[in-house]
Amino acid sequence: MNKPLVSVVITTKNSSRTLKKCLESIKKQNYENIELLVVDNNSTDNTKEIAQKYADEVINLGPERSAQRNFGVKKSKGSYVLVHDSDIYFNPNSVKECVEVCEKEGCDAVILAEKSIGEGFWTKVKAFERSFYVGNYYIEAPRFFDKEVFQKLGGYDENLYAGEDWDLMVRLREGGYKIGRIHSLLEHDEGRLSFFGSSKKKKYYSKNFFEVYAKKNPEYFKKQMSFFVRFPPKKILQKASVHPILFLSMILMKGVEYLETKKS
């Protein structure tokens, strides 16, 4: 039985720190029929040189990741598409599991949960935060799609460069499409985060998120911004009792992020 072609679309912007390991993790998949496309947004480092060593096609396109992703999917040839960022390292079984979930369970899209990795204390705090999101209905968004479904929904909203993955998730759910999930976790390479590093990144995306995404998806926005939706009391009791310092540090970090986003 022929395995369906899966097109993996990776978007980049000065991604040389993580790109080699990201693309190598795709090449090491336990699934043979994969097409790899890299869509780069005018990088000034050696991102394109790295991409050309691994990708079937390297495309230059901006201005933001939603447009990059949509164009990559448009150029792809696969029956399925896996769309992600260049700081993600895939489990060897990621693609195989996604295809099996779609083929055996009739899913139209698949969630690939993540765990954060990196160096330093604040990266450990970020990893602790992300551990709350695994299995969270409002936070996790699919990254693997039946290509026909992706295109029928119009792909990512190109007016969004923050919350665009959540927006597509909302449209999938409202359209009655079935979303599955795999067990293998992805590794999200945070590098070495500083105390203010996370808040600076949030500040960049916050204006678009609060002004565009929030108006388009007000009900989901309220849930996603709710502290106790993101951090359910039951999980707080379980995790804070084991890692009290990480929990308190996370509260401090999230508070700073919130204050920074309100300034934008």
Indicate the pLDDT class of residue 198, thresholds 50, 70 and 90: low
The mean pLDDT of 198-222, rounded to a whole number, is: 86
pLDDT in tens, 116-159: 999 999 999 999 999 999 999 999 999 999 999 999 999 999 99
pLDDT in tens, 14-26: 999 999 999 999 9
**Helical ranges in the chain per DSSP H:** 16-27, 47-54, 65-75, 94-105, 121-131, 147-152, 164-174, 197-208, 214-216, 218-225, 227-230, 233-242, 244-263
Is 187 a residue whose pLDDT tops 70?
yes
Q: Residue 199: what pLDDT?
A: 61
Q: Residue 10: what pLDDT?
A: 98
Is 1 a residue whose pLDDT tops 80?
no
Q: Residue 204: what pLDDT?
A: 73
> Cis bond leading into 218, ω under 30°?
no
Q: Residue 260: what pLDDT?
A: 72
Residues 20, 18: Cα–Cα separation, whole Å = 6
pLDDT in tens, 25-84: 999 999 999 999 999 999 999 999 999 999 999 999 989 999 999 999 999 999 999 999
Q: Residue 76: what pLDDT?
A: 98
Q: Which CATH code for domain 6-263?
A: 3.90.550.10
Bigger pLDDT: 208 vs 245: 245
Decide: 143 and 112 in contact? Cβ < 8 Å. Answer: yes
pLDDT in tens, 36-50: 999 999 999 999 999
Residues 181, 107: Cα–Cα separation, whole Å = 9
- Residue recorded with tokens 């502290």: 227
What does DSSP assign to residue 209? I
Residue 203 bridge partners (DSSP): none
Residues 256, 241: Cα–Cα separation, whole Å = 23
Q: Where are the domains of the chain?
A: 6-263
Residues 1, 157: Cα–Cα separation, whole Å = 36
Indicate the pLDDT class of residue 262, thresholds 50, 70 and 90: low
Residues 130, 126: Cα–Cα separation, whole Å = 6
Q: Residue 45: what pLDDT?
A: 97
Indicate the pLDDT class of residue 200, thresholds 50, 70 and 90: low
Burial status of residue 129 (CB atoms within 10 A of its CB: 0-12, 13-18, 19 or more): buried
pLDDT in tens, 211-236: 999 999 999 999 999 999 999 999 99
pLDDT in tens, 154-181: 999 999 999 999 999 999 999 999 999 9
